[in-house]
Amino acid sequence: MRAIVTCEGCGYRQMVARQLERPETFHLVCHGCERTLLVTVTAIDMHAARARSWSKTAPARTLSRPVA
């Protein structure tokens, strides 16, 4: 699936560049404010993306404050 991450700092929405095959947590640098975000993709997110097969895209959550 693909994930869209919304920055907690500036609200910038960006697509994660790589395909996600399983739930995972990773860091992403915001293209808007260049802060580092911790992104968590859960099994529930994966399931939601599969259910919407027309897009296979789901909003991912940032579960912590930016760590920059």
Shortest distance, CB of residue 68 to Zn ion, whole angstroms? 9
The H-or-E segment that residue 38 falls in is strand 36-41
Residues sharing a CB contact under 8 Å with residue 8, sequence separation 6 or more, in sequence order = 37, 62, 65, 66
Enumerate binding residues for Zn ion (CB under 5 A).
7, 9-10, 12, 30, 32-33
Amino acid, single-letter form, for residue 47: H
CB of 30 vs Zn ion, minimal distance in Å: 3
Q: Which residue number, 35 or 56, has a Cβ lying nearer to Zn ion?
A: 35
Minimum distance between the CB of residue 54 and Zn ion, rounded to whole angstroms? 28
